[in-house]
Structure 1
Amino acid sequence: MPTRMPLTPSRLPARYACRLLLITCCTASTSPLVQAETPLLNWYPRALLSDAELAGLPSFCSGRYLPNQLQPLSDGRLEAESEQAFVDRNGNAEFTGSVSMRREDYVLKSDSARWDASLRQAEFDSDVSFFNDEVTVHSDHARFQEQPNATQSATSSRSELVLESANYALPARHMRGTATSMTTRSEGTIELNEATVTWCEPGQDDWRIAASHIYLDQQQGIGSAWNTRLEVMDIPVFYIPYYRFPIDDRRTTGFLDPSFSLGGNAGLEELKLPFYLNLASNLDATIAPHYFNQRGWLWESQLRHKTRWLGDGELNYAYLNQDATDERERWLINYQQSGTLGPHWQHRWVYNHVSDNDYLADLNSSTAIDRTTHLPRLGQLRYQNDTWRFELLAEGFQTIDDTIDLTDRPYKRLPQATLDYQQRYDRWRVSSRLQGSRFEREDSATINGSEQTLTGFASLDGRRLVSDNAIAWRFEQPYSYIQPEASYRYRYYRLSSPDSFDYNTVVNYGVPRYSLDSGLFFERPLHWFDTIQTQTLEPRLFWVKSPYQSGQDTIPAFDTKVTSVSYDSLFQGDRFIGADRLADLEQVSLGITSRIIDQRGGEWLRFSLGRVYFGDRRQVQLDSDEVNDSHATSSTLAEVEWRPGRHWRLNQTLEWDVYGDYARQRRLGVDYVPLSNRMLNLSVNKVQSENSDSGTIETDLYQADINAFWALSDRWALTGRVLKDMKNYPEGERRPTSSVLESLAGFEYQNCCWRLQVLYKESSPTADDSASYSTEKSQSLMFSIQLKGLSTLGGGTDATVRNSIKGYSRRQYHDY
């Protein structure tokens, strides 16, 4: 321990004189408190960073912030050092030369310091620095004031530190700013006057947030600001008189970050000011006035909750009293709920409703609504264990596409109950499904201004019972497998029609199905370009038989579609997806797959070729007016995928009609992805069919799509896309105005402070069925400026590129 000194004015070593500044005690120190000088505001240029610290830092960033790592002092003691110290008999002290004081979890440095014992106040002059693990501050002058608590120990005293002309940084968040004065208090509050904040690098003030007063409460986790302005190149572009916001991960009532977008004429297109309400630990809400240019204020709200039994729920509601464009009332409701009721029970609920079919397109809702032509409404309850699975489902839709006729709109399932059983006994597998469904749909609706009414067969509703039972046995070896299976499928229907109240008919039938699936696996070493690889040969045979059941054309297709054609579909053993058609099957599927596998186990090349051989014509069709298919074989399916290098991927699919001697489908895709921020994609898609009346081959679809996002450097990147229609349209057929259906061109520039995207887009949509040509060709110029760490001005560019460029969703870019 240091020797006790007489309390007379004298020059003392600082490690003894510091005892007069202690709140409780002081430990002597013979080494500097900070071993090396920390760069100003903890900003480290690239030259001072290690290889590990440089990893992931883009070339356009000149350095990075590194947070302090201090070991906190316990028991409220204070450590202090200086070159000289002067102490009088009243306890007043002066320190000069490299003053450094440390208490608890912070360090304070200056060229000189004075302590007034009677006022319990310290003054720090010239080159003052204050830092802890979260913040670093540099100022010209600082004042420390202590107010002891008479009823408690000295360690519980309140203190206040005021720093004038402060420059501060939060290294962990890459934030920095200035303030004419900065006051920190021991109870965890911080006040800043005439303050600024930015995420830009030191010396690069391209943009910043300025406020006349900022108050931060670290205990409550909230902050508030008055007269807040966004300044770009020192020019104010946005103003909020009062702003309340969270400063940590705790949920806090207050304003969230506003968002807005500007149009091509620099006018305000959208403005959103969300306000968050922390109602309870398991309940919160957000209210967001959302301004749309030429439409008005849309009031959006969201309520979220968590419960023990009902799980997570979310209610979204939006309301626009009167659209300024067409003077109509508009609104949206979206509700989602899901959770678990026990170890095996789950439930899910979804409800969507919009006021009109154009709502989502016009008002660009940000809620989590399912944006399809049919908005789902469903309730689902499910139980599942290793053997049993039970599901109770009620489902309906709101169709928001007026081009879809009433006859093509989906049925509601009100309700549908399904019970599945599956069990394995050594090599045996037993499965069973029992399902009951009730289907109905609207029989009349106003579509495109005209009334449509369902009559006759199209108006039928129904109740359906499904019973499918199967037993299979599988024998498997490393080089082969064989699996025979037998099943019995039973259907029961009770059909009725609102068009005829006395119509009530019952249809029921059962059909067996037998199948045999088998395959072989061969492999051999392959020497290819001076490398040793493995080539496989995998022939597969699949036989399936099911007799014809008449009368199925009297049953509507409640939930049934034709299986899409692919190589895998050759071995599904059915032509339909759904339960309303039991296909008559007498067929053998033959296929062969060959792979070339490299030394790392990666698939370098895969080639598959297959065809189905039919024993009889296919009489069961999806629609009653379809003709029977009497061809003895299906089309020949071929698929190739080739990866000639780590960055290249080529794939092609060919469906060849051996009777018409033409390609029904022909798809080619080439992907080149050399780096995470470089991607080039080319695809050609052609679909043809045979006209049954004329016997000619007609092109249904023929398009080529080339798109790319290419980073020229860390700063610069180019974006482009051309979607071209190469179809030759016959006279009188509806066609787009331009053969280029969509084109996109743009560039991106970014640095450590902001990112700019500029896009030019043209599209040539096809008009409605009543027009031969498109009535318009749209052009748009979009831009967005992302202020890194804060928000984005403008909008839609990232979403546009993501929808146009394959692989862009995996793109990486620098942000805080």
Structure 2
Amino acid sequence: MADVSHFDEPPAQPPASTPAPSAMAVSVRYLLVPLLLSPVLGAHGEDNPAASLNWYTRSQLTAAEQAKLPSYCSGDYRRSKIEALDDRRLIAEADESRIDSNGDALLSGNVVMQHGSYQLHSSAAHWRNDLRQAWFDGEVSLYSDDVVVNSDSASFQETGPEPGDGSLTLNSAEYSLPDRHMRGSAESMTTSSDGTVNLEDATMTYCEPGRNDWEMAASNIYLDQEKGVGSAWHTRLRFYNVPILYIPYYRFPIDDQRTTGFLDPVFGINSNGSLSELKLPFYLNLAANADATLTPHYLDDHGWIWENQFRHKSATFGDGELNYNYLNKDSTTEEERWLLNITQRGTFGEHWSHRWVYNKISDDDYLADLNSSVSLDRTTHLPRRGVVAYADDNKTLDFTVESFQTIDPDIDLSNRPYRRLPDLRLGYQLRDSEWQTTHVVEGTRFTRDHEAIIDGSAQTLTGFDALDGDRLVADNGVFYRLENSWGYLMPGAEYRYRQYDLYSDEDLTDTRSGEVHLGAARYSLDSGITLERTTALGSLPLRQTLEPRLYWVRSPAQGDQEYIPTFDTRRTTVSYDSLFRGDRFTGQDRLADLNQLSMGVTTRLLTEEGDEWLKFSMGRVTYFDSRKVQLTSDDLPENLGTSSILSETEWHPWRSWALYQMTEWDSYQNYARQNRYGVTYRNEHNQMLNLASNRVQEENADYDGIDTTLYQADAGAFWALNDSWALTGRVLKDLKSYDTDERRPVSPWLETLAGVEYQNCCWRVQMLYRNMSPTADDDAEFSTYQRHSLMFSFQLKGLGTFGSSTDSTISQSIKGYTKRSYHDY
């Protein structure tokens, strides 16, 4: 090693006739600076042609690094491990160096220069002091934490007083960004000290060295590392050297920062092979706390929809989003169609929060016809709601306004939800050791439309259905809980009070209006025991629990409730947990008469690690009196002495398997009112399977028999055959037996999905065929009609996905798909 020179200082005693060299001139004072280059030089092996780009083949990686790679990847990049200089020095070493009286310098033989965390290697380096320029010859390489560049030659133009201020141009360059798994080439590559990079006649790909399955080629690529954005002119996307896309101008992110530009396009193909959907979203980064997305959206048979989304964040109003879609003239209906959606939520102060949502669409069929996905839409009511809330350790306060737009024309006006304009609720809870008191006061005004045009027909509410009203709720309770390690006992007493002011615009003759007052006490006693023992299943040690529970509740019947509308009240959904709710209704409009004892037992088998291997629960309710209070006056009292028997099972025989079951058994008629069961499987190799059956039955009073209202089988799977290939399938079949004159689906196969996926280290493709049966209108012969579609998506790893939303479609059909593992950059 001949010498090592400092570039940041003039010589200590320069000759009088020699001008002081610049920051890029070689100092006459030699300083040995050890540069540890082993992570960059000589560590790859001669059999690796991409070694100079910091690419390591699989055999050169550690065992831990190899374990992270899918089998289809042949290697990976590593960052250059360069110890950065902690000041503004520019240091160099070479086999030989010369400097003349003009300050011009020549370094030759294994030249290495470093400034900060950047290192440049070349065979020779020349410095022209008067031009403030440097030239580098031979095999020129530039290394940093983020980028590696190899070129035939390079030049540096100094533009500032500090070492390294300026621009470096590399000719016939190859580059890689190890952290992003990106590489490419350029006829000319210029990097500046401000963090910008300009490439002429450049290519870019995320594929592994040695195989360019796809690459982006552009006449010019500009990268702004500070802003995290890149742009390209005259961009061509090539797949296996075949041009498939041309973009005159393209902006794209090069890190996680948001940037203005086009997002991944979405397109769909129908069963005839023609274009059924196309979306071209354009993203606008308006500010640090605001952005927007403008999307021209083409739908076959409808035309171009202009979709607009605006999002913002603020300290005062929190997170907000506005969506507005507009179709000037539908090609099928020849009508103007639109959608408006506004959401807002945030906090203010220490305890206050607010949340708002507003939805409105031009017609009932908008979501079914023009939604952005091909999945079925079963929405019936679109909410419009605003809530301002306060909460601390003991108190809650909610002020709510709420209404709905009902978009299901099959729902009569009398069955549509009421508006709550407004609702004010105050809650207070106090815990003092074993004692607990609860207090709730709520006032609500309920109104709804009395006249409307629904599905082309006029409907008018009369009599009881035309009642609106104001409701006051006042509930108070006190509970005492005795508890130890093996059980608990909790008696409680409550008083529930309701006051109504009912009114209507019409003259009511058979319906009571005016004030109604109701009040009833409710007494309860809840108790439970937990017993444990150790056991084993073969060689599997287990801990078994036995958890019996008794819950008694009593409340006397209150009359005149048949004159009160059910503003927000429905029957409780039947499940094992509903046995211990202590009520038959949800909402506040019915004070159920209760004298009942809920009995249930749960047993669990737990592994040594505490995982739940098996859980089984069974229970029923014993009634000591008939139940007179019902939702409507037409409902007869219930006289049966017991409820149905409810059972639920969850079993995890192996780590990847889960089995579940829920049955509601009517012991009087000896049939299952509900019967749901299924099996799920999911492992860490992207293999998942769902099998389920759901059957709901009810008594038919007309012929004293049993009607099946719902009977479906559902089977779905996403199955990776290996790291590269995977299959997708799902079938939803209607198993119900229909009467001769009963409307039925046009096909019992309500939904089928079949697809295949292939991926390697730089791209992934999915193809799906989907057949669905959306609901038909009442005038149709069948209750559904068939819709077929072909879906295709193509992911260029690291860049984006083109095509249909296949991943979203699969996630809606296959349970657990959202947790699948991906390999992307």
Output the TM-score relative to the length of structure 1.
0.92
State the alpha-carbon separation in 1 of the partners of residues 565 and 34 from structure 2: 92
Could you tell me how far 1:391 is from its partner in structure 2? 0.5
State the alpha-carbon separation in 2 of the partners of residues 22 and 581 from structure 1: 93
Match of 1:271 among 279, 300, 324: 279
What aligned pairs does 1:270-349 form with structure 2 within 5 A after superposition?
270-279=278-287, 281-349=288-356
The alignment partner of 1:631 has SS state of coil
Provide the identity percentage. Answer: 52
Whether the aligned pair in 1 keeps the contact of 2:4 and 2:33 (CA below 8 Å) is: no
Letter paired with 2:284: Y
What aligned pairs does 1:201-216 form with structure 2 within 5 A after superposition?
201-216=208-223
Match of 1:644 among 650, 653, 671: 653
Could you tell me how far 1:633 is from its partner in structure 2? 0.7
Whether the aligned pair in 2 keeps the contact of 1:444 and 1:451 (CA below 8 Å) is: yes
Could you tell me how far 1:340 is from its partner in structure 2? 1.4
Could you tell me how far 1:33 is from its partner in structure 2? 4.6
* 1:49 and 2:61 matched: yes
Could you tell me how far 1:623 is from its partner in structure 2? 2.4
Could you tell me how far 1:740 is from its partner in structure 2? 2.1
Aligned to 2:694: 685
Could you tell me how far 1:546 is from its partner in structure 2? 0.8
Using CA pairs below 8 Å that are at least 6 residues apart, which structure has the higher relative contact order? 2
The alignment partner of 2:610 has SS state of coil
What aligned pairs does 1:55-66 form with structure 2 within 5 A after superposition?
55-66=67-78
The alpha-carbon distance between structure 1 residues 196 and 268, as it changes in their structure 2 partners (threshold 3 A), is: farther
The alpha-carbon distance between structure 1 residues 363 and 97, as it changes in their structure 2 partners (threshold 3 A), is: farther
Whether the aligned pair in 2 keeps the contact of 1:732 and 1:772 (CA below 8 Å) is: no
Could you tell me how far 1:2 is from its partner in structure 2? 8.1
CA deviation string 1:758-778 (max 9, x = no partner): 112223455334445246323
The alpha-carbon distance between structure 1 residues 614 and 144, as it changes in their structure 2 partners (threshold 3 A), is: same
The alpha-carbon distance between structure 1 residues 364 and 165, as it changes in their structure 2 partners (threshold 3 A), is: farther
Could you tell me how far 1:504 is from its partner in structure 2? 4.3
The alpha-carbon distance between structure 1 residues 510 and 92, as it changes in their structure 2 partners (threshold 3 A), is: same
Aligned to 1:458: 465
Whether the aligned pair in 1 keeps the contact of 2:265 and 2:803 (CA below 8 Å) is: no
State the alpha-carbon separation in 2 of the partners of residues 627 and 174 from structure 1: 71
State the alpha-carbon separation in 2 of the partners of residues 313 and 674 from structure 1: 38
State the alpha-carbon separation in 1 of the partners of residues 372 and 423 from structure 2: 31
The alpha-carbon distance between structure 1 residues 248 and 776, as it changes in their structure 2 partners (threshold 3 A), is: closer
What aligned pairs does 1:659-670 form with structure 2 within 5 A after superposition?
659-670=668-679
State the alpha-carbon separation in 2 of the partners of residues 283 and 266 from structure 1: 37
State the alpha-carbon separation in 1 of the partners of residues 645 and 703 from structure 2: 24
Aligned to 1:28: 32
Letter paired with 1:422: Q
The alpha-carbon distance between structure 1 residues 241 and 751, as it changes in their structure 2 partners (threshold 3 A), is: same
CA deviation string 1:691-736 (max 9, x = no partner): 1221111211122212111111111111111222222112211111
Output the TM-score relative to the length of structure 2.
0.91
Larger CA deviation: 42-51 vs 214-223: 214-223
The alignment partner of 1:802 has SS state of helix
State the alpha-carbon separation in 2 of the partners of residues 342 and 809 from structure 1: 36
Match of 1:114 among 126, 129, 132: 126
Match of 1:37 among 39, 42, 57: 42
Could you tell me how far 1:130 is from its partner in structure 2? 1.1
Whether the aligned pair in 2 keeps the contact of 1:737 and 1:766 (CA below 8 Å) is: no
What aligned pairs does 1:90-169 form with structure 2 within 5 A after superposition?
90-147=102-159, 149=160, 154-155=161-162, 158-169=165-176
State the alpha-carbon separation in 2 of the partners of residues 303 and 100 from structure 1: 51
State the alpha-carbon separation in 2 of the partners of residues 721 and 271 from structure 1: 26
Whether the aligned pair in 2 keeps the contact of 1:33 and 1:100 (CA below 8 Å) is: no
Aligned to 1:177: 184
Could you tell me how far 1:780 is from its partner in structure 2? 2.1
The alpha-carbon distance between structure 1 residues 673 and 277, as it changes in their structure 2 partners (threshold 3 A), is: closer
Could you tell me how far 1:266 is from its partner in structure 2? 6.3
Whether the aligned pair in 2 keeps the contact of 1:27 and 1:79 (CA below 8 Å) is: no
Match of 2:633 among 611, 617, 624: 624
Letter paired with 1:416: D
State the alpha-carbon separation in 2 of the partners of residues 670 and 26 from structure 1: 75
Aligned to 2:8: none
The alignment partner of 1:360 has SS state of helix
State the alpha-carbon separation in 2 of the partners of residues 687 and 448 from structure 1: 29
State the alpha-carbon separation in 2 of the partners of residues 157 and 757 from structure 1: 48
Letter paired with 1:132: S
Whether the aligned pair in 1 keeps the contact of 2:463 and 2:508 (CA below 8 Å) is: no
The alpha-carbon distance between structure 1 residues 162 and 510, as it changes in their structure 2 partners (threshold 3 A), is: same
Unaligned 5+ segments in structure 2 are 6-10, 16-20, 44-50
The alpha-carbon distance between structure 1 residues 742 and 31, as it changes in their structure 2 partners (threshold 3 A), is: closer
Match of 1:428 among 431, 435, 446: 435
The alpha-carbon distance between structure 1 residues 570 and 257, as it changes in their structure 2 partners (threshold 3 A), is: same
The alpha-carbon distance between structure 1 residues 19 and 564, as it changes in their structure 2 partners (threshold 3 A), is: closer
Could you tell me how far 1:61 is from its partner in structure 2? 0.9
Aligned to 1:577: 586
Aligned to 1:12: none
The alignment partner of 1:800 has SS state of helix
State the alpha-carbon separation in 2 of the partners of residues 79 and 400 from structure 1: 73
State the alpha-carbon separation in 1 of the partners of residues 109 and 82 from structure 2: 23
Larger CA deviation: 587-596 vs 465-474: 587-596
CA deviation string 1:542-576 (max 9, x = no partner): 11111111221211111111111111111111010
State the alpha-carbon separation in 1 of the partners of residues 531 and 27 from structure 2: 82
The alignment partner of 2:818 has SS state of helix
State the alpha-carbon separation in 2 of the partners of residues 194 and 605 from structure 1: 64
What aligned pairs does 1:512-661 form with structure 2 within 5 A after superposition?
512-661=521-670
Aligned to 2:225: 218
Whether the aligned pair in 2 keeps the contact of 1:734 and 1:769 (CA below 8 Å) is: no
State the alpha-carbon separation in 2 of the partners of residues 353 and 31 from structure 1: 67
Letter paired with 1:644: P
Could you tell me how far 1:635 is from its partner in structure 2? 0.8
Could you tell me how far 1:248 is from its partner in structure 2? 4.1
Whether the aligned pair in 1 keeps the contact of 2:342 and 2:359 (CA below 8 Å) is: yes
Aligned to 1:14: none
**Superposition CA RMSD, Å:** 2.7
Could you tell me how far 1:108 is from its partner in structure 2? 1.1
Could you tell me how far 1:673 is from its partner in structure 2? 2.1
State the alpha-carbon separation in 2 of the partners of residues 409 and 379 from structure 1: 20
Whether the aligned pair in 2 keeps the contact of 1:216 and 1:222 (CA below 8 Å) is: yes
Aligned to 1:787: 796
The alignment partner of 1:675 has SS state of coil
Whether the aligned pair in 1 keeps the contact of 2:24 and 2:163 (CA below 8 Å) is: no
State the alpha-carbon separation in 2 of the partners of residues 770 and 719 from structure 1: 35
Could you tell me how far 1:93 is from its partner in structure 2? 3.5
Letter paired with 2:102: N
Could you tell me how far 1:37 is from its partner in structure 2? 2.9
Letter paired with 2:469: G
Aligned to 1:353: 360
State the alpha-carbon separation in 2 of the partners of residues 175 and 562 from structure 1: 59
